[in-house]
Amino acid sequence: MSQKTFLLVLFLVVMVVGLFIKNPFILNMLSLAALSVIVVIGLNLLLGFAGQISLGHAGFVALGAYISSILAIRLNINPWLSILIAVLVSSAFGALIGYPTLKLKSHYLAMATLAIGEIIHSIANNYVDLTGGPQGLAGMPMLSIFGFMLDNETKFYFFIWSLTFLLILLSINFVNSRFGRAYKAIKSKENAALAFGINVHLYKVFIFTVSVFYASLAGAIYAFYLGFISPSSFGLTQSIEYVVMVVIGGMGSFFGVFFTSVILTILPNLLTSLEDYWPIANGLLLILAMMFMPNGLKGLFKWIK
Amino acid sequence: MDKIMSIEGITKSFGGIKAVDNVSFFVKKGEIKALIGPNGAGKTTLFNIITKLYSKDSGKVFFMGKDTENYKSYELVKYGISRTFQNIQLIDDMSILENVMLGYHIKTKTTAIDAFFSLPKNKKQEDKAKEKAMETLKFLKIDSISDKYPNEIPFGYKRLVEIARALCVQPELLLLDEPAAGLNESETNKLLKTIFRIWEQGISILLIEHDMNLVMNCSHSIVVMDEGRKIAEGLPSYIQNDERVLKAYFGK
Amino acid sequence: MIYVLVAIGFNVIYSTTKIVNFAQGEFLMLGGIIEFILLKYSIPIGISLLISSIVVSIVAIFIHKFLISNTKDANELSLVIMTIGISILIKGVIAVSVDKDAHPIKHFLPFKSVSLSGMTFSSQYIVVMLTALILVFLFYFYLKNTLNGKIMQAVSMNTLAASLFGVNVNMEQMKAFAISGFIGALAGATIAPISFVQYDMGVMFGLKGFAACVVGGFGNNTGALVGGLIIGIAESLSAGYISSSYKDLVAFLIMIIVLFVKPSGLFSSKDVERV
């Protein structure tokens, strides 16, 4: 089965599921899963294809969420325009951070993004006038499409999943072009990439920017969906969670990371009593994956070409 | 006599040891030049300096009359220099065809937007790359393995795929880094013919090689290096009998 | 001064194994936590310091022997992911098995604060200072003047060559982990009275130690010393003159500036980091 056929099947399944589920709690959980999928698909481009790791993706999600919310609440800018500005500003910021660090070995990006994530988190916590501090921000207006308000869980479910599938489709297109080949070369044989005319540094900065784009877009939509954001949703733990989703799903495998991010978003919501044990589980998953299954669940999806 | 590349006084040291010591020579347009020498002679270091993977301490490299000082490693292929790697650098999770298409990367003009939205231009350029890659594989008579992956084909084929990938862009100068390493005798003989056929297309070749037989049979002229220095240069028949060369190689 | 110790902890492992140990901050946290537990059972400070350092060394050896050595396709990326996994595992285990609260630890010296030309500061700073100085000195002495130290330096310069000369590289790498764990734990235990002990204290210390490494040049021990001092001083100055809530930002700001201007660090060694 081709990637796009499978994507279509998956899309239809998700749409049908949406028609039958009426429970708002479940719909909410699934919509949040879609937002995770967007972040993780973006991170997968970076980690799975270019071999670069970000430990601050929750920070970029926060950046999208906070900038768009502040624009909408404080300056009364139209929600979609706020989202657009937030995503562009965040992506530009990503490029600015990526430019110096991506010249260096991959642990520099890891540490720099970790630091950025912590900085964003600490600004969100401390700069109360702008961000509302630990209490967070509330009162973001509801999103509407062509005058059609996304005012209940079902409507939002269809909107967010359609967007998610569109973004997956775009990513699949992208990696099936000459760029996909270039990134695979960059990841495994950098010298070969250079020898065949690929400006490795620029390519890395580009894909990092794209992945920040995905993260901040998800963050901005999240803010308008919930109408409330607070720093606690965007900490280091969440950044690591995204990395776990990519690693376990199989770096470079769109469907692998799709399923792991859906499952790993839903599970903690169902098993809230085990909250304290999630970091341990995440740590173990990463360690075990590196010891025994560096490709995660990629193998399960081999039949999709 | 047109020089396609000339190397002038290249020197490079690693921690006080001169890996390449004031080496100069040139490659004529349309010739097959070989660079030989025992292990540790500095051949690969020189290759990596030419291809900008290493910086040099002093000296200059001219390509088609232009100083390459400010060229970046990823720009060389644009100017017409393409290379293979001694330790095979095929990408494991790409098919042979895709690997060769990677070699054609700079000739395709797809933008990121074309790619994300899979616009018609993307398909057109992909088809062109595919066609070129197939053509090159056919030229090297290995088009039957185009759908296979690098870990599914024998070592001798991997070497040929490396060459196909470097050849796909139709370079002016092809750098071959020990193309015969690890090949058996019949494979080496085939390689010899392949090198000639590439040369017949008007591509100049600089090859590093260990295998004396191959070098003596295919090159027009030879540079011999030992301990970082150039110790001899000339026609194969001359090199074969040069005392310093024999001494470096066989310790006589 | 504490960042100097974290930076040296990073360097010891990095130079022998080329691994950036993302669990370095957790060594500090473990050192502090174990000390806290021992002190609760009224074990004298000196002994509890020693025990916590040794325990963390053993943990570090364990990490190297069972986890790092068994990493499949041990490339840079998978080792980064591995040590991140280790880091959050340690943090998670402590959060569950001890707790998530911040615990105060009493000062090592009998008096709490010292006054010096009008400024009053915690007496623990003296302890931290002295410990760091002694450790740095011992570490330099070990590298320069003992056979073991020289072997370790040889491994860091050229792993392959060292193994050809019969050096047991694996053993040296394990030692590096042990030393790094020891230094880390001691640093964590001495800083504890100032910073309190908490399961997630490692992240910030790890990051700032890394920043110190970047400023000084990765793998360079003189660089670590200078980088750590620069970060530490800049931080105290900003806490004093601007606001303590922006204290954390200063270290990262310096790091990012250095990354832009001179990514190989102020004391760049020949080992070029650029690709």
One DSSP character per residue, A49-64 reads: IS----S-HHHHHHHH
Interchain CB contact of A254 with B (< 8 Å): no
Q: Which residues contact C98 (CB under 8 A, 6 or more apart)?
A: C33, C37, C199
Q: Tell me, what's the pLDDT at A173?
A: 94
**Does a structural domain hold residue B71?**
yes
ipTM of the modeled complex: 0.90
Q: Tell me, what's the pLDDT at C88?
A: 92
Helix (H, G, I), strand (E, B) or coil at C105: coil
Contacts of C204 in chain A (CB under 8 A): 118
> Is there a contact between B67 and B60 (Cβ–Cβ < 8 Å)?
yes
Residue B210 shares a structural domain with residue B242: yes
Interchain CB contact of A288 with B (< 8 Å): no
Residue B180 shares a structural domain with residue B74: yes
Size (chain B), residues: 252
User: What is the DSSP annotation of C83-103?
Assistant: HHHHHHHHHHHHHHHT-SS-B
Q: Which residues contact A233 (CB under 8 A, 6 or more apart)?
A: A58, A62
How many interchain CB pairs under 8 A, A with C? 134
Residue B68 shares a structural domain with residue B107: no
Q: Is the pLDDT of residue C270 over 60?
A: no
Backbone angles phi, psi at B214, to 5 degrees: -60, -45
Report the domain count for chain B: 2
Residue B71 shares a structural domain with residue B178: yes
Cβ-defined contact of B112 to A174 (cutoff 8 Å): yes
CATH of the domain at B239: 3.40.50.300
Q: Is the pLDDT of residue A225 over 70?
A: yes
- For β-strands B3-14 and B58-63, DSSP reports them as antiparallel
Q: How confident is the model over A121-165, as pLDDT tens digits?
A: 988 988 888 888 888 898 888 887 877 788 788 889 999 999 999
Task: Pinpoint the alpha helices (H) of chain A.
Answer: 3-20, 24-44, 57-74, 79-101, 106-126, 128-131, 153-175, 178-188, 190-195, 200-226, 236-249, 254-270, 278-292
Q: How confident is the model over A70-98, as pLDDT tens digits?
A: 999 989 899 999 999 999 999 999 999 99
Q: Could you give the CA distance from residue B65 to residue B172 in angstroms, rounded to a whole number?
A: 13
Q: Tell me, what's the pLDDT at C272?
A: 40
Q: Which helix or strand (DSSP H or E) is residue B187 part of?
A: helix B185-200
Interchain CB contact of A197 with B (< 8 Å): yes
Residue B143 shares a structural domain with residue B163: yes
**Does a structural domain hold residue B192?**
no
Q: Could you give the CA distance from residue C181 to residue C188 in angstroms, rounded to a whole number?
A: 10
Q: Distances from the Cα of C98 to the Cαs of B103, B193, B224, C59, in angstroms?
A: 56, 72, 68, 17
> Is there a contact between C7 and C228 (Cβ–Cβ < 8 Å)?
yes
Q: Could you give the CA distance from residue C209 to residue C201 in angstroms, rounded to a whole number?
A: 13
Cβ-defined contact of B105 to A196 (cutoff 8 Å): yes
- Entry pTM: 0.91
Q: How confident is the model over A267-279, as pLDDT tens digits?
A: 888 887 888 888 8
Q: Mutation target for A interface from C75, C84, C97, C264: give the one with most A CBs within 10 A.
A: C84
> Is there a contact between B28 and B67 (Cβ–Cβ < 8 Å)?
no
Q: Could you give the CA distance from residue C205 to residue C188 in angstroms, rounded to a whole number?
A: 9
User: What is the DSSP annotation of A223-242?
Assistant: HHHHSEE-GGGGSHHHHHHH
Residue B68 shares a structural domain with residue B178: yes
Structural domains in chain A, sorted by start: 3-301 (1.10.3470)
**B114 lies in which domain range?**
86-170
Contacts of A287 in chain C (CB under 8 A): 67, 82, 85-86, 89
Q: Which residue has the tokens 């270091």?
A: B45
Residue B7 shares a structural domain with residue B126: no
Closest CA to A118 of C29, C205, B107, C182: C205
Query: Given pLDDT bands bounded at 50, 70 and 90, which one contains residue A256?
Result: very high
- Chain C residues touching chain A at CB-CB below 8 Å: 20, 22, 67, 70-73, 76-82, 84-93, 95-96, 203-204, 207, 210-211, 214, 245-246, 248-249, 252, 255-256, 259-260, 263, 273-275
What mean pLDDT comes out for the span B224-239?
Answer: 88
Q: Is the pLDDT of residue B61 over 90?
A: yes
With 0-12 / 13-18 / 19 or more C-beta atoms within 10 angstroms meaning exposed / middle / buried, residue A25 is exposed
Domain ranges of chain C: 2-109+121-202
**Does a structural domain hold residue B112?**
yes
Cβ-defined contact of A286 to C273 (cutoff 8 Å): no
